[in-house]
Amino acid sequence: MMAYGMLSSESVRAPGAGTRLPPRVEPWALARRLARWPGLFLLLDYDGTLSDIAPTPEEAVTAPGAVGALRRLIGAPGVAVEVVSGRPLAELTGRLPLSGLWLVGEHGAWVRCPDGRPQPLLEAGNVAAALDELERRASLVLGGRPGWRVERKTASLALHYRQVAPEEAARLLPRIQDLWLRPMAAAGLELIHGDKVLEVRPRMIDKGRAVEWLLDQRPGLRPVYLGDDTADEDAFAAVAERGGLGVLVARSPRPSEARLRLNQPAEVVRFLTALVAERTGQVHP
């Protein structure tokens, strides 16, 4: 089933990573700044933003207080809330059991509407056979070595190596990437380097295009996007093009398309809680 308003190949945009180092902002100061916006579209990544990075994706848990703050913001006047993640929709739904929340999974391959219906968002094409081949080639190199994890999704594939010794990762990752080049090129796939993860996805799928689609569904709202990883740079650029604001979540400064920085998911929760108070007058501990 095709999603209404699906982006076509003519919507291609290729932002690069920024060169500025976004300065840190206090959570309360960011909330006060956004409280002045008459219509606010709040978009958030999940891992590293609403949850601390864990040794494996299964071990990640939503930061305490995040679900409650998001629930109150969903009902606030003049506020729309969306989560845009590389995770599959089913995993996001289990971690964020909130009605009225739009969820985007696999970097934009799928969207779950507030009524719970999942549907394709960006055109992934038929990439299953190519992803099978990439998984097979990675297995040839890894041979069951501990610490490595291949995560297969419907439209992408992730190779996690957070629990692998740095010298082993430095030795094996180039071999895997060399084996992947030809089938990736033939299938129109691209490789994204994240935080201790390599992700392969169709070239027409990224968080920036997903955010553009979401913004088209909510005209009149000014967007702010919070994210922590390389894959979020497309989204930072997309909201900037619409007069919005990107906020990097990172303990240390790094070059980014974002304009401001919060330190960690705990600060994101403090920001959300302060935003509830600013937008609704409700004060929660």
Active site members = 45
Strand-pairing partners, residue 224, are 42, 245
Eight-class DSSP state of 230: G
Distance, in Å, from the CA atom of 4 to the CA atom of 125, rounded to the nearest integer, reads: 17
What distance in Å separates the CA atoms of residue 277 and residue 1, rounded to the nearest whole number?
40
CA–CA separation, 222 and 81 (whole Å): 12
In the numeric block, the tokens 């999603």 are attached to 3
Distances, alpha carbon 231 to alpha carbons 48, 66, 108, 267, in Å: 12, 22, 11, 21
SS3 state of residue 278 = helix
Integer angstrom CA distances of residue 130 from 26, 119, 136, 158, 200: 45, 22, 10, 13, 10
R_g of the chain, CA atoms, integer Å: 19
Q: Nearest CA to 173 among 152, 204, 150?
A: 150
Please classify residue 77 by burial: count the beta carbons closer than 10 Å to its beta carbon, then call 0-12 exposed, 13-18 middle and 19+ buried.
exposed
The CA distance from 77 to 80, in Å, is: 9
90: CB partners within 8 A, 6+ apart:
none
